[in-house]
Amino acid sequence: MKGILVRIGIDSTRGNWNAPVDPETRKFIYVPIPAYDQTPDDYEEIIFYLNEFCKNYGKDLYNDLRFPTALENQYAHLDPDFEYLTYGDVGTRRGSGITTMDEGDLIAFYGGLRPIKPSQHKLVYALMGLYIIDEINWAMDVPKERWHENAHTRKQNISMTDIIVRAKPNLSGRLERCIPIGEYRNRAYRVRNDLLTAWGGLFVKNGYIQRSIVPPSFLKPEQFYSWFKDQNISLLQVNNYE
């Protein structure tokens, strides 16, 4: 088995915001980054789920969570798309390692979420989804009737270098509750040392996850997957839920 850890979701560098999380219940909203290309996706549906989240916790999306109003008129790059269990990337750059993966390998998705209640850290770095790979194809080879299933084939111009990952149903999806994995140490956010031990290590210096130009890989992915299953977190085939 091969396994990698891929950062997803809006953050300070892509959208200038962080999606909310309740650090007690670990419920969160998955908010994608803005899209560079024109797509059918926007933030309208995501804002609906954000407002529902805010209602449940007595918060206001704009006054309390400081949601950027500029995003209301932008396209969204909804990737991964947990509804269709797909993930797209550039197969010649950041996603080049994924092109060497095969059926049964895993991708763990994580991101930096902003807690809506007092928390030990300003951001909660947490696992948000997990895929067990079914197949990987070049985006140009995806039949037209399946273009709607991923952001890289929904956009106006499909790139010859993009790849599309499809994950196995029932074994893959968005986490019902996120799993915090990070802490701030040595001037950066890193995977906690206890988790590095439990997972068998990462191929990255001192568990660094603050930025992921090259997604870190698991040294012992089977060991990570065994740990993950022990967390007993439901995997949902949805991007968000009420």
Do residues 114 and 19 lie in contact, with contact meaning Cβ atoms separated by under 8 Å? yes
Which pLDDT belongs to residue 45?
A: 96
Do residues 81 and 164 lie in contact, with contact meaning Cβ atoms separated by under 8 Å? no
Q: CA triplet 103, 169, 14: central angle to 5 degrees?
A: 85
| Mean pLDDT, rounded, for 147-155 | 96
For 216-237, what is each residue's pLDDT tens digit? 999 999 999 999 999 999 999 9
Which pLDDT belongs to residue 83?
A: 98
Which pLDDT belongs to residue 196?
A: 98
- Both tokens of 115, joined, read 């807690």
d(CA 17, CA 69): 11
For 169-215, what is each residue's pLDDT tens digit? 999 999 999 999 999 999 999 999 999 999 999 999 999 998 777 89
**Burial code of 84-98, b = ≥16 C-beta within 10 A, e = fewer?**
bbbbbbebeeebebb
